[in-house]
Structure 1
Amino acid sequence: MGGRRAGRSGVGARGRSDAAGLVVFEDEVLLAANKPAGMLVHGDGTGAPTLTDAVAAHLASEGRGAVRPQAVQRLDVETTGLVLFSLDRATQPALDAQVAGHGMEKAYLAVVRGSFPSGERTIDVPIGRDRHDARRMRACRPGQGKPAQTRVRCLAREGGRSLLLVGLITGRRHQIRVHLASLGFPIVGDALYGGARSTAGLLLHAWREGVDHPVTGARLALETPWPQRLWPARPLGV
């Protein structure tokens, strides 16, 4: 979970965050968007605006209205941060294969209440569905549920809260939320898993991602601007 910065692919790359804060990286075949809170990645039939709609509008403003962006990963509606879009059908399978094979490294920032222990740890607790509440997942005993591993390191503590850097080894539904709650540190704003109330919403952000470019094979290191919604100042050395 070391430091990475936004990268360039060499394929007409425009590695930057645009004026609206939407685009973190863009070239001819790939776009990385910075999803705001409360926005779905895909439509759910209600007609609510989606991140896919926002990316399509951005492409149209650049004269690329014929391109149909396809998200290759998802975030919960309350979670903010990086979502990758394929802009080219021919190269999308290479991105899909990385998702399926866990070839993408993704690091999240999360804020929890209390003083989280120092040092890096790996949470190795299976996750399964909560049969009493269809909205929830749950931590399971060994031999139950599906294997799930999460790396966690505390970056800072202040005001009775801790800022955590979280890396996914597996990618189960609600994995970070369930694993942190299982340790007694639910994410601030996560009412579903017992987190403290927050006017800023769920304090979970997909901050960094490493992905192999589907054309050049170069490793891209993508990073959103620092999410002040979670933690006002970026800690030194992070």
Structure 2
Amino acid sequence: MEWVVSLPDRLDSFLAREGRMLSRAKAQSAIEEGHVSVNEEVIERPAHRLQEGDRVEVADEAFSAKASTMEPIDLHLEVLYEDKSCFVINKPAGLAVHPGAGMGEGEQTILHGIAYLFTKERLAFSSESVLVHRLDKETTGCLLIAKDPAAHAALQKQFEARTVKKTYLALVAGIPEHTSATIDSPIGRSGTNRTKMAITGASALREAQTAYRRIGAADHVALLECDLHTGRTHQIRVHLSSIGHPVLGDGSYSNALSERLTDDLAIRTLCLHAWRLTFESPADRKNHTVTAPLPLSFSAILKKLSIPPVDA
């Protein structure tokens, strides 16, 4: 379930009033168990302050009597990094990270695959303490998973403090004028379509910065390396679209050129990849950088355009 905040409020109070919770205590429990995210970041503090325009999402597990259980399904998830506290998987396109509103009955999610990995390694699985952040359904790449509640809390603090470095690769329509630049444009919920974000005609604009560097280009298509300085919903997609260079395969923020190129190149999914993730592991307190190889479909487009592949 998902809501957009219209007035500043405490997270637990908001859910008790708007979120189909039976009581404030139950709302607090759902938050503390990791079922609630704000602007795609898991929040476990009931007193977290919401601002106008924030997107609050509650996973379906919060309304289930068996919230901590999930059927293990072997989704053949690629594990890119693992230690005693966490692991990083290479998320494929087309799979939601967790069950949510609008999904079909029995639809598989990344959580089902994570449950399988936990079962395989004889780890205690609890859906409340594994997800630290989210990726959109069609976005691929690095997804960090905690192995236990202590690791989950430690990693979540890093995301809240913005010490985790997230680098994406994006194929965009058109070639940006500048080789590198930082887009500094506040983002808010669209005033005309509440499922979209915008930088104009939006409510409750919040600061957002995306740095990009052009690392390849050919035939009206550019390959960009993008670093998020903030973590707003759809930030890269909105920012790149705002400067006239939408991500290919993005039906929500497209323009005429991106739609034509998406058709000409037979692109079937969003060309946005969570390429690198740098974080401090709770296991050894050292920084680790994990790189996710590009999906075959993404690499095939680069080859078709004769854009050199990126270094690992």
Deviation of residue 97 (structure 1)?
Answer: 0.6
1:14 counterpart residue number: none
Tell me which moved more, 180-189 or 88-97.
Answer: 88-97
Q: Using a 3 Å threshold, how does the CA distance of structure 1 residues 50 and 144 change in structure 2: closer, same or farther?
A: closer
Residue 15 (structure 1) aligns with: none
Give 1:58's match in structure 2, choosing from 83, 108, 117.
117
Give the residue type in structure 2 aligned to 1:48: E
Q: What is the identity percentage for the equivalent residue pairs of Structure 1 and Structure 2?
A: 35
Q: Report the 3-state secondary structure (helix = DSSP H, G, I; strand = E; otherwise coil) of the residue aligned with 2:111.
A: helix
More helix by share: 2
1:19-50 deviation digits (Å, cap 9, x = unpaired): 94521111221011111111111111543211
Instruction: Give, in angstroms, the shift of residue 214 of structure 1.
Output: 1.4
**Is the 1:105–1:210 contact (alpha carbons within 8 Å) kept by the matching residues of 2?**
yes
Report the TM-score when normalising by structure 1.
0.84
Give the letter for the 2:86 counterpart.
Answer: L
| 1:86-235 matches, cutoff 5 A | 86-140=146-200, 145-194=205-254, 195-196=258-259, 197=262, 198-231=266-299, 232=302, 234-235=308-309
Following superposition, the deviation at residue 235 of structure 1 comes to 3.4
Q: How many residues align?
A: 219
Moved more, 104-113 or 118-127: 118-127
Is the CA contact 1:31–1:84 (under 8 Å) kept in the aligned structure 2? yes
Q: For 1:32 and 1:219, locate their aligned partners in 2 and report how far apart those are by CA, in whole Å.
A: 14
Runs of at least 5 residues in structure 1 that lack an aligned partner in the other structure: 1-18
Structure with bigger gyration radius: 2
Alignment partners' CA distance in 1, 2:173 and 2:154: 39
Whether the 8 Å contact between 1:33 and 1:55 is mirrored in structure 2 is: no
Which segments of 5 or more consecutive residues in structure 2 lack a partner in the other structure? 1-74
Whole-angstrom CA distance in 2 between matches of 1:221 and 1:57: 25
**Mean CA deviation greater in 169-178 or 26-35:** 26-35
List, as ranges, runs of 4+ consecutive aligned residues in structure 1 with deviation greater than 3 Å: 231-238
Q: C-alpha displacement at 1:53, in angstroms?
A: 1.1
Q: Which residue of 1 aligns with 2:22?
A: none
Shift of 1:144: 5.8
The answer to whether the 8 Å contact 2:189/2:204 transfers is: no
Root-mean-square deviation (Å):
2.3
TM-score by length of structure 2 reads 0.65
Distance 2:113 2:197 in 1: 30
Which of structures 1 and 2 has the larger relative contact order (alpha carbons within 8 angstroms, sep 6+)? 1
- Do the aligned partners of 1:148 and 1:175 also contact (CA within 8 Å) in 2? yes
Distance 1:108 1:100 in 2: 19
Find the counterpart in structure 2 of residue 27 from structure 1: 83
Note closer, same or farther for the CA distance 1:144–1:60 as it changes in structure 2 (3 Å cut): closer
Whether the 8 Å contact between 2:185 and 2:239 is mirrored in structure 1 is yes
CA distance in 2, matches of 1:29, 1:68: 14
